[in-house]
């Protein structure tokens, strides 16, 4: 299928290729963030322009929050293509329901990200229900912890912000392949056509060959970025990208009888596979416009408008539970696989599932002084709309299979048809926010900020019955104190509050479909950022997050469970990281996250005091690369990622075993005639370790996803 944007993008390529080579670059203040892998910067850095703005206009080094950055160079060196692979780059991140062939979700600090507000494109909300392409991204910023000032209503784990590439003099072709048979092509071309107007185009095509049988697919992507600087004080940035993908989705495993893990799992098996099963097709478009005007050296106005839309043709033969298995009739919980490995297969069809997110924001930034106190002031107003439009889907039982079947039995598809289209969610957030960074002498700063949110939201059932009508107003404060004794060190302490929506009761509870009330979260954090050398940054953060606990409580109802809010979920953690270069030849990226995630006061004694499901106590990542002096141009790379035992049940009785996975690679950077080239070979999961990478949940049910087996990846990048 031809990418819809391709004719426009291809038409622009001749302009990029034949633009006058002597065209002067844009003014220095309009240049973009350079590619890099450093997590922090010193006070001589320019403030981020498209970055996370939860703490105002400041460098990362002076921001009182834990923010890690994965730069373009690192994305290419690690050959990162998916959101799950991006999650390997920081120990505070983990998978949370990330199937092969479907859109993926991450968790930060043990909390799954909000798919409506947890992902951002140039700091504007984007729908998380899409495979997020990285070809047009200059860097990825990961804010760990509460970000109510940035995103308003959101989960307390944090946000992930994707920063687009800007126009530059570049023409690069990348070719790739892997040991499963996937093929990859990408083109990155840009040029400043005049001193004040530039374009950049990114195109990608990928044929996907998965380690899961029958899960091959394709992906096409196109992106266009435009910069126009009509005056020295005014700049306009426009971005649009479109992705079109199709791939069969692989169902996750479930605990057998709710009491043990499946054994001798064949990672290549697609549970429930039916030959008539169609691929899941996802079409996603993200667009944004950002205007900045500086009235003078001290005051500036920023206007931003974004739209994100994802359309999902959800079609899967879904493996779930054992409601129709005789072994479960004797008391085994039906929302898990049967004790003998049997499971039900459902014909699930939901075409045209549409998720939209529209955001508009206006911000005034300025600086002034009152006596000896300096002020960096940010005032803003924002409006965000999220909509979900879906048909009455088909979710019909068609037969029963077993995880040990050599081949899944073939069943007839359901004769049922898709029903009418209904607006399932209509949500508006309107916000006012303010932040003042007060300079108290040369070494102390105090940040005072707040966001006042008004939420109006209606949720309807598939039969268009109003299930929830939420209206609330709340002010979310953020406060921080910084001590900056010198240019190398920043120490901070902060407090913030956040608001997240209530969860929906799972289908197997007595109040199936009911949504509980919003949850107010609170976070305290203390941290340090230290520039050990000009090229190596060290960071540490200690935090504690409180959030009301919503869960399926065992009781005497007809279902045996009722979804309630009772008690608290408390995450207490320590994060440390080192990023940069140990020497001119050796680069290092290392992180460690230790978290104690507990439910307390739940009213169910068996659930109190245990580590929360899908939150390992310890994660660690390490990536080292070293340029070989004996072989000029060659760089060897090696990585290790570790997770301790991962809880799979709320009572702590079952845990996925701890695992450590090693990756390795070699890269050559050189020239071929007048062209620069970069060739690299990487091996993921070098020792072919089997492990459960994810015990996350979706709509109240917990699934088990095995990690990918050994994979060899080869890529060649050539400047044109």
DSSP string, 336-386: SB-TTSEEEEEEEEEEEEEEEEEEEEEEEEEEEEETTEEEEEEEEEEEEEE
Rounded to 5°, angle at Cα 642 from 641 and 647? 140
Could you tell me the pLDDT band of residue 332, with boundaries at 50, 70 and 90? confident
Task: Write down the pLDDT at residue 6.
Answer: 39
Q: What is the CA radius of gyration of the chain?
A: 25
Helix/strand/coil (H, E, C) string of 103-125? CCCEEECCEECCCCCCEEECCEE
Q: How far apart are CA 620 and CA 644, in angstroms?
A: 9
Q: What is the pLDDT of residues 447-471, one digit of tens each?
A: 999 999 999 999 887 777 887 888 9
Structural contact between residues 180 and 210, judged by C-beta atoms closer than 8 angstroms: yes
Give the Cα separation of 136 and 125 in Å (integer). Answer: 17
- Position 26 pLDDT exceeds 50: no
Q: Which of 334, 395, 322, 308 is nearest to 117 (CA)?
A: 308
Residue 103 lies in a domain: yes
**Rounded CA gap, 449 and 434, in Å?**
5
- For the chain, the average pLDDT equals 90
Between CA 651 and CA 212 the distance in angstroms is: 32
Q: Which of 23, 31, 75, 76 is nearest to 50 (CA)?
A: 31
Domain extent for 524:
6-719
Query: Rounded to 5 degrees, what are φ and ψ at 596?
Result: -105, 105
Residue 496 has pLDDT above 90, yes or no: yes
Contacts of 389 (CB under 8 A, 6+ apart): 352, 353, 354, 356, 421, 422, 423, 424
Q: Is residue 571 classed as helix, strand or coil in its secondary structure?
A: strand
Residue 30, pLDDT above cutoff 70: no
CA distances from residue 240 to 21, 167, 222, 307 in whole angstroms, order as listed? 26, 13, 8, 9
Non-local (6+) Cβ contacts of 589 within 8 A are 37, 74, 89, 577, 578, 579, 621, 622, 623, 624
3-state DSSP assignment of residue 402: strand
pLDDT digits 0-9 by tens, 342-361: 999 999 999 999 999 999 99
User: What is the band of 699 on the pLDDT scale with cuts at 50, 70, 90?
Assistant: confident
Q: Which two tokens stand for residue 568?
A: 């608290």
Give the residue among 55, 47, 49 at the shortest CA–CA distance from 149.
55
Given a cut of 60, whether residue 212 has pLDDT beyond it is yes
- 3-state class (DSSP) for residue 14: helix
pLDDT band of residue 40 (cuts 50, 70, 90) is very low
Number of domains in the chain: 1
Label the pairing between strands 124-125 and 119-121.
antiparallel
| Nearest CA-CA partner of 265 in 646, 692, 614, 645 | 692
Q: Is the dihedral of CA 266, 268, 273, 279 positive or negative?
A: positive
Examine residue 1 and state whether it is found in any structural domain, yes or no.
no
Residue 185 has pLDDT above 80, yes or no: yes
Proportion of the chain above pLDDT 70, given as a percent: 92
The pLDDT of residue 17 is 39
Q: Which residue from 446, 452, 514, 503 is spatially nearest to 480, judged by alpha carbons? A: 446
Please check whether residue 475 lies inside any domain of the structure: yes
Sort residue 45 into left (φ over 0), alpha (ψ -120 to 50) or beta: beta
Pairing state between β 119-121 and 158-164: parallel
pLDDT score of 617: 97
Q: Kindly indicate the confidence band of residue 34, based on its pLDDT and cuts at 50, 70 and 90.
A: very low
**Model confidence at 175: pLDDT above 50:** yes
Q: Do the Cβ atoms of 316 and 353 come closer than 8 Å?
A: no
- If one counts every other C-beta atom within 10 angstroms of the C-beta of residue 664, the result is 15
Dist. CA 74–CA 623, nearest whole Å = 10
Work out the pLDDT band at 44, boundaries 50, 70, 90. very low
**Is residue 389 one of the residues assigned to a domain?**
yes
Q: What dihedral do alpha carbons 370, 373, 376, 382 form, nearest 10°?
A: -70
Binned at pLDDT 50, 70 and 90, residue 326 comes out as confident
Q: Answer yes or no: are the C-beta atoms of 113 and 155 closer than 8 Å.
A: yes
380 token code pair: 């803003």
Q: What angle (nearest 5°) sits at the alpha carbon of residue 518, between those of residues 516 and 521?
A: 130
Average of per-residue pLDDT across 59-73: 92
Q: Are 588 and 598 in contact (CB under 8 A)?
A: no
| Distance between start and end Cα atoms, the chain | 26
Rounded to an integer, the average pLDDT of 98-116 is 94
Cβ atoms 279, 174 nearer than 8 A: no
The pLDDT of residue 504 is 85
Confidence of residue 179 (pLDDT cuts 50, 70, 90): very high
**Residue 61 and residue 531 in contact, taking contact as beta carbons nearer than 8 Å:** yes
Report the C-alpha dihedral over residues 467, 352, 563, 256, rounded to 10 degrees.
160
Summarised one tens digit per residue, pLDDT across range 604-624 is 999 999 999 999 999 999 999
The torsion angle over the Cα atoms of residues 498, 501, 505 and 510, rounded to 10 degrees, is 90
* pLDDT value of residue 459: 86
SS3 335: coil
48 is a domain residue: yes
Q: How confident is the model at residue 56 (pLDDT cuts 50, 70, 90)?
A: low
Distance CA 303, CA 294 (A): 12
Whether residue 276 lies inside any domain: the answer is yes
Tell me the pLDDT tens digit for each residue of 273-293.
999 999 999 999 999 999 999
Query: What is residue 635's predicted lDDT score, i.e. its pLDDT?
Result: 97
Residues in the chain: 720
132: which 2 tokens? 């997020």
Distance, in Å, from the CA atom of 595 to the CA atom of 592, rounded to the nearest integer, reads 10
199: in domain: yes
Q: Where residue 15 sits, what CATH number does that domain have?
A: 2.40.170.20
Residue 502 is predicted with a pLDDT of: 87
* 352 Ramachandran zone, left/alpha/beta (phi>0; psi -120 to 50): left
Summarize pLDDT for 125-135 with one digit per residue, the tens: 999 999 999 99
Q: Is 542 domain-assigned?
A: yes
């Amino acid at each position: 299928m031809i990418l819809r944007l391709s004719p426009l993008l291809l038409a622009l390529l001749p302009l990029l290729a034949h633009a006058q080579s002597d065209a002067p670059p844009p003014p220095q203040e309009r240049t973009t963030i350079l590619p890099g892998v450093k997590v922090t910067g010193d006070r001589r850095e320019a403030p981020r322009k498209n970055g996370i703005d939860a703490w105002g206009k400041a460098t990362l080094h002076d921001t009182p929050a834990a923010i890690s950055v994965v730069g373009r160079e690192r994305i290419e060196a690690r050959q990162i293509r998916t959101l799950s692979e991006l999650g390997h780059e920081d120990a505070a991140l983990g998978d949370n329901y990330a199937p092969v062939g479907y859109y993926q979700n991450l968790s930060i600090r043990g909390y799954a990200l909000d798919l409506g507000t947890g992902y951002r494109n140039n700091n504007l909300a984007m729908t998380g229900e899409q495979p997020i392409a990285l070809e047009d991204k200059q860097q990825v910023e990961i804010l760990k912890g509460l970000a109510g000032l940035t995103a308003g209503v959101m989960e307390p784990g944090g946000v992930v912000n994707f920063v687009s590439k800007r126009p530059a003099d570049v023409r690069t072709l990348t070719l790739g392949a892997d040991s499963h048979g996937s093929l990859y092509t990408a083109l990155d071309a840009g040029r400043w056509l005049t001193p004040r107007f530039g374009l950049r185009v990114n195109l990608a095509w990928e044929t996907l060959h998965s380690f899961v049988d029958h899960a091959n697919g394709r992906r096409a992507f196109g992106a266009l970025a435009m910069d126009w600087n009509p005056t020295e004080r005014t700049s306009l940035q426009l971005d649009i990208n479109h992705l079109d993908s199709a791939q069969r989705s692989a169902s996750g495993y479930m605990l057998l009888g709710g009491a043990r893990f499946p054994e001798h799992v064949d990672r290549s098996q697609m549970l429930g596979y039916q030959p008539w099963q169609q691929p899941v097709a996802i079409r996603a478009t993200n667009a944004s416009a950002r205007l900045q005007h500086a009235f003078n050296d001290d005051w500036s106005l920023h206007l931003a408008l974004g739209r994100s839309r994802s359309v999902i043709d959800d079609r899967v033969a879904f493996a779930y539970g054992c409601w129709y298995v005789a072994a479960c009739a004797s008391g085994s919980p039906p929302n898990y696989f049967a004790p003998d490995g049997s499971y039900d297969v459902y014909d699930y069809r939901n075409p045209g599932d549409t998720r939209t997110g529209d955001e508009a924001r206006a911000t005034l930034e300025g600086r002034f002084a009152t006596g000896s106190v300096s002020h960096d002031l940010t005032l803003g107003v924002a409006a965000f709309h999220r909509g979900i439009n879906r048909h009455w889907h088909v979710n019909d039982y068609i037969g029963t299979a077993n995880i040990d079947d050599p081949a899944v039995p073939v069943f007839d598809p359901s004769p049922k048809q898709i029903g009418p289209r209904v607006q399932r969610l209509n949500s508006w957030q309107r916000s006012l926010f303010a932040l003042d960074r007060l300079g108290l002498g040369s070494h102390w700063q105090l940040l005072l900020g707040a966001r006042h949110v008004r939420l109006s939201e209606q949720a309807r059932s598939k039969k268009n019955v109003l299930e929830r009508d939420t209206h609330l107003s709340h002010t979310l404060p953020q406060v921080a104190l910084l001590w900056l004794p010198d240019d190398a060190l920043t120490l901070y302490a902060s407090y913030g509050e956040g608001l997240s929506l209530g969860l929906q009761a799972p289908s197997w509870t007595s109040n199936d479909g009911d949504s509980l009330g919003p949850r107010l979260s609170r976070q305290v954090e203390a941290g340090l950022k230290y520039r050990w050398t000009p090229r190596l940054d060290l960071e540490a953060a200690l935090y504690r997050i409180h959030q009301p606990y919503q869960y399926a409580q065992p009781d005497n109802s007809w279902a045996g469970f009722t979804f309630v809010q009772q008690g608290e979920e408390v995450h207490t953690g320590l994060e440390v990281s080192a990023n940069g270069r140990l020497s001119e030849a050796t680069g290092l990226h290392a992180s460690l996250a230790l978290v104690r995630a507990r439910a307390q006061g739940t009213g169910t004694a068996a659930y109190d005091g245990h580590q929360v499901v899908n939150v390992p106590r310890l994660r660690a990542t390490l990536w080292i690369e070293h340029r070989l002096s004996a072989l000029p141009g060659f760089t060897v790379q090696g990585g290790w990622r570790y997770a301790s035992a991962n809880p799979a049940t709320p009572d702590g009785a079952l845990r996925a075993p701890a695992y450590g996975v090693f990756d390795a690679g070699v890269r050559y950077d050189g020239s071929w005639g007048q062209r620069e080239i970069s060739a690299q070979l990487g091996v993921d999961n070098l020792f072919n370790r089997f492990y459960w990478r994810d015990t996350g949940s979706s709509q109240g049910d917990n699934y088990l996803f095995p990690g990918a087996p050994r994979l060899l990846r080869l890529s060649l990048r050539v400047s044109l």
